[in-house]
Structure 1
């Protein structure tokens, strides 16, 4: 029997979590948010990696090109610290950037914390994959996903990725009539 679930990449970018120095909370926050909102079948492909440009790039490319993840969500590495390089690597591996995602995530996060202006998360596409950088703080992950996810399923439709369905009571995904 063929597995019809959509693979979704969840990438934790953290030197300390990848070294086992602290417990990752960002990856589980993403997975829990998705489990609460998505009604279509999906499978998480989880990675915990260090803040190393080559490792981040190889991981994003693997999830997009080899595993055909329709959605790849990263957490961590989006601040102004010298080792925070997730946005630069995401930009380098994407074919197209979607600046509205980062703009909206920062706008919504600023309503909760003034340091959200320091966040540099971006989004873009690679083939039929949508890549979105999220902050590392679990509560900020929910804020950002709540803000942008209504546009995510239709974006994935437009780039030829797998169809994602949401529970409209939890996230009203927008699709034009007839889509």
Structure 2
């Protein structure tokens, strides 16, 4: 099954063209290789709650992806506002995914407990917040990647039976 995936990076330096977005490259590779994802949109926005919110809404409504994976803006800094922007647009939370990502990543890096990323649903799109570092992206995604196809199948109505 092919999943439509969008990647949204929240980064002031990335949006200004001052930093290469290596975290999004890790997401792209994992989505394509591990779950058969097709990247339908990739966007970089500044660490601004209104811009992140607007991008999530626009991507969800225009591209109708099965999954939006965000990277960046999940830490403790004053400009880390991706979870707050995500909360504005989701209709239902999926706390188990965020919990599993933190727990899984903490086995490798204790600092993973400082990530504030959330996961939730807008319409038939699952939105997952990941940290901004390539290592954080890898560790967080690998903690949940085996459950994503099933979650997306249930959410999109392609599968109605729970395994």
- The normalised TM-score by structure 1 is 0.83
Equivalent position of 2:120 in the other structure: 124
1:15 aligns with 2:12: yes
Give the whole-Å Cα distance in 1 for the aligned partners of 2:44 and 2:71: 10
Matches within 5 A, 1:8-47: 8-39=5-36, 42-47=38-43
Of 131, 134, 140, the residue aligned with 2:136 is 140
Q: Give 1:111 shift.
A: 1.3
Deviations 1:52-73 (A, max 9, x none): 1111011111111221010000
1:155 aligns with 2:151: yes
Q: Does the CA-based 8 Å contact 1:31-1:44 persist in structure 2?
A: no
Give the whole-Å Cα distance in 1 for the aligned partners of 2:121 and 2:158: 14
Name whichever structure is richer in helix by fraction: 2
Give the whole-Å Cα distance in 1 for the aligned partners of 2:143 and 2:114: 18
Deviations 1:105-164 (A, max 9, x none): 11111111221111001100000000000111112211111111222222222222678x
Structure index of larger Rg: 1
Which sections of structure 2, spanning at least 5 residues, go unmatched?
A: none
1:56 aligns with 2:56: no
C-alpha RMSD of matched pairs (Å): 1.9
Give the whole-Å Cα distance in 2 for the aligned partners of 1:108 and 1:97: 19
- The normalised TM-score by structure 2 is 0.91
Equivalent position of 1:168 in the other structure: none
Q: Secondary structure at the match of 2:146?
A: helix
Q: Does the CA-based 8 Å contact 2:31-2:38 persist in structure 1?
A: no
Give the whole-Å Cα distance in 2 for the aligned partners of 1:19 and 1:160: 35
Q: Secondary structure at the match of 1:90?
A: helix
- Number of corresponding residues: 162
Q: Give 1:33 shift.
A: 1.2
Which sections of structure 1, spanning at least 5 residues, go unmatched?
A: 164-174
Matches within 5 A, 1:90-101: 90-101=86-97
Q: Give 1:76 shift.
A: 0.3
